[in-house]
Amino acid sequence: MIPLDFKQIVTQSIQADWLTAKKGSLDILRIDLLHPIISGNKWFKLQHYLQEATELNYSTIATFGGAYSNHIIATAFACQQLGLKSVGIIRGEAADNLSHTLLLAQELGMELIFVSREEYRDKDALQKQLADNWYWVNEGGYGIKGAKGAAAVLNYATNLADYNFIIAAVGTGTMLAGIINAALPHQKVIGISAMKGNHSLEANVREMIDDEKKNSFSILHDYHFGGYGKHPKQLLDFINRSFDDYKIPLDIVYTSKTFFAVEDLVNKNFFPLGSKVLMIHSGGLQGNLSLPAGVLSF
């Protein structure tokens, strides 16, 4: 697989009437350009876990995920690069035709272990039952070390100090926590939850951020489009339109909902007139391959 290329990450300005109307500006930090398959944010989140595993002389990394998981593929890739073995505990029985995500993870050397949805819920039991000489990474890279890795994402913004608002997609909240910690004191960070009604997120994020940042963020829960993994036609049409209008490829789980939210929030005067907004494009595009061919125009 082709290597990661950090020089590909750019800050892209969006030109649109809905921005001009509010005298606002919107730039997109294109972390997705790091690699066509490895989701930018997942790779960043893994760094400090893998560093610790190496320091403690573990040779195998184990983690959890579903059949289309960006985290599974990023873990498989990062471990292959570091010469570590990887094990993916996969939610649900093995299908006759494995998803492209899982096939690729296997190609990268990951051992896949399929467990029922019920077993998957009790991760502590699985960890005990499987091997105790594996280094375990939480599902999605959730945790303080993940946040520390994700903080580095903001290093790639060209003129970070220019922005008043930074907006990003939220799954576990780990990336958001890292961004909150790395944001400058005058910046407010907005998270868009990809899940329906996950109101434990705020508390989870608070546990991963510095005390003085506790009031510098908020998470919006109105842009889930039916829930995690749901992508109604309205969202798919929005993705195609965004690609036509701005040449931005969005993923169906996270970044499409976030970009939709940005436009909606601008139109609703959520941001004060003249605000400068930075949106993080966190990647995840490999997940779009779960759609039938032809649904998306890119």
Ligand X SMILES: *Cc1c(COP(=O)(O)O)cnc(C)c1O
Question: Which residue ranges make up the site for ligand X (CB under 6 A)?
Answer: 39, 41-42, 70, 140, 169-176, 251, 254-255, 282-284
**What is the C-alpha end-to-end distance of the chain, expressed in Å?**
21
Strand partners, 13: 27
Token pair, residue 69, equals 């998981």
Cβ distance to ligand X smaller for residue 275 or 288: 288
Q: How many CA atoms lie within 13 A of 126 on its CB side?
A: 23
Q: Smallest distance from the beta carbon of 145 to ligand X, in angstroms?
A: 12
Assign 13 to helix, strand or coil: strand
CB of 74 to ligand X, least distance (A): 8
The distance of Cα 294 from the centroid of its chain, to the nearest Å, equals: 24
In this complex, which beta carbon is closest to ligand X, that of residue 101 or of residue 255? 255
Torsion of CA 279, 284, 286, 290, to 10 degrees: -110
| Residue number, 30 or 42, with CB nearest to ligand X | 42
Beta-carbon count within 10 A of 120 CB: 18
Rounded distance, CA 59 to CA 82, Å? 10
Which is nearer to ligand X, 254 or 259 (by Cβ)?
A: 254
Question: Measured from the CB of residue 32, what is the shortest distance to ligand X in angstroms?
Answer: 7
Tell me how far, at minimum, the Cβ of 18 lies from ligand X, in Å. Answer: 23
Q: Least Å distance between CB 133 and ligand X?
A: 27
Nearest to ligand X by Cβ — which residue?
A: 284
Whose Cβ is closer to ligand X: residue 22's or residue 100's?
A: 100
Alpha carbon of 141 to those of 94, 172, 244: distances in Å?
A: 23, 8, 33
List beta partners, residue 12: 28
- The smaller minimum CB distance to ligand X, of residues 24 and 195, is found at 195
